[in-house]
Chain A
């Protein structure tokens, strides 16, 4: 793995004016409301935001550094990039991986979600967490089938309607959902072969959910992609998206083992490689 370059860290309360969008940086903060985090991410194109007062601060910073300096590594080995950013490798990835399910059609959703649910029960996770994790997996699956193949990077489209025809009869390149964990965190993620996720559009939709209310998301007609993303975001400790434009998108969410959801910690990590 390449040694990450020194990535600037921006104290978003005091030093935001020193950030220029052209130079990728990591925003850091303590106790800043989630809505403010998203507003700053959108308004200042600061796509990595990590709260300092949390157990995973150092790992989260390293994950951001890795995503900024070597995105290919992240999209190839997302689990180790998040859970063990100091030792990312194929070997570590397979140690951390518990479930990997490929799919090309909406009709496979039951099978894919069942595999994840079975593993969560085997880990003896509490029922409320299993429900939440399956909701996240469902939204990631839906994005991979109805959004990723049908939107272009440039346009802020909602994907196609969630119909049987759109989900089962078009020939799609395979996507996959994965689940992994270490003793402190659980990761659920997806990978598609399209690379059409546009962080600007996604973050703007998230921002709108916070600033204008979730009812605006209903008006984005067919997809509901914004609402699904908001629900994922509200559930997870951190949200990661690595995009090789036109080639591949990896989205992942982390959850703290055993802990209750905290309304105060939401880290974001978005990186894009436009030259793939």
Chain B
């Protein structure tokens, strides 16, 4: 599966970037015009990010911020691939960015069922508890809770 990028100008001064599948050495991130007030990047459909993708992403963020430091970078629907990258490489989430939503991923140790939950980000967010739809057991959170604490600090 190849990486894809779809750009949509939603409002005056707002650009929405939907990323699909993968972020790696084959996916060049787009040039951003200087005059935008907000760039919204959606990770909902990103399933894979490698080290080169992470480097490209961090460099892209720096370029955008250097061009226009007032431009708001909003990250939406952070997926497992992004969360895993953030767990290892903190620079994946710049301190100035806003995160409006992210997934929680769950696994049931008892029966092997997997589930996810898309939640909007809030400063006092608590990690949700999920009951297994298959066996009724309490599911385990896949990512480290620390990652969600970091994200909560950057709620809108």
Residues on A facing B (Cβ under 8 Å)? 110, 124, 126-128, 131-132, 134-135, 138-139, 142, 162, 213-215, 218, 224, 227-228, 230-231, 234, 260
Contact = CB atoms under 8 A, between A and B. Distances in A.
A132 B84 contact: yes
Interface size, B (range): 20 to 34
A124 B14 CA distance: 42
B54 interface: yes
B82 to A, nearest CB: 11
Given A138-B24, A214-B89, A218-B58, A128 B51 contact: no
A135 B84 CA distance: 10
Q: Which of A124, A214, A234 has the largest count of B CB atoms less than 10 A from its CB?
A: A214
Contacts of B4: none
B90 A227 contact: no
Contact of A135 (B50, B107, B112, B140): B50
Contacts of B90: 213-214
B93 to A, nearest CB: 13
B91 A231 contact: no
Contacts of B71: none
A218 B52 contact: no
A131 B51 contact: no
Contacts of A260: 140
22 contacts: A126-B107, A127-B105, A127-B114, A128-B107, A131-B48, A131-B81, A131-B84, A135-B48, A142-B52, A213-B90, A214-B91, A215-B91, A218-B55, A224-B54, A227-B51, A227-B55, A228-B50, A228-B51, A231-B50, A231-B51, A234-B88, A260-B140
Contact of B88 (A126, A128, A131, A231): A231
Contacts of B140: 260
A162 B105 contact: no
B6 to A, nearest CB: 21
Contacts of A126: 107, 112, 114
